[in-house]
Amino acid sequence: MTTAAEWKAKESEYYIHTFNRQPMVIERGQGVRVWDTEGKEYLDFTAGLAVNNLGHCHPAVTEAIQQQAATLLQTSNLFYTIPQLELAEALVENSCMDKVFFSNSGVEANEGAVKLARKYGRLHRNGAQDIITVLNSFHGRTLGMIAATGQPAYQQAWLPLAQGYANVPYEDLDAIREATTDNTCAVMVEVLQGEGGVNVPSEGYLNGLREWCDENNLLLIFDEVQTGMGRLGSLWGYERFGVEPDVMTSAKGLGNGVPIGAFMCKDTCDVLEPGDHGSTFGGNVLTTAAGNATLRYMVENDVPAHARKVGEYLESKLEGLRQSRPEVVKGYRGMGLLIALQLQNPIAPAVVAAANNEGVLLNPVLPDAIRFMPPLIITEADVDECIEKLGRALDVATAG
Catalytic positions, please? 138, 223, 252
The candidate with the shortest Cα–Cα distance to 355, out of 310, 400, 397, is 397
CA-to-CA distance for 50 and 60, rounded, in angstroms?
19
- Look at residue 66 and give its three-state secondary structure: helix
CA-to-CA distance for 128 and 182, rounded, in angstroms?
7
Contact predicate 229/53, CB 8 Å: yes
Contact predicate 285/69, CB 8 Å: no
The runs of H, that is alpha helices, within the chain are 4-14, 47-50, 59-69, 82-93, 106-124, 143-148, 152-155, 173-179, 205-216, 238-241, 285-300, 303-324, 348-358, 380-398
CA-to-CA distance for 237 and 242, rounded, in angstroms?
9
Contact predicate 100/88, CB 8 Å: yes
What backbone phi and psi angles, to 5 degrees, belong to 221?
A: -105, 125
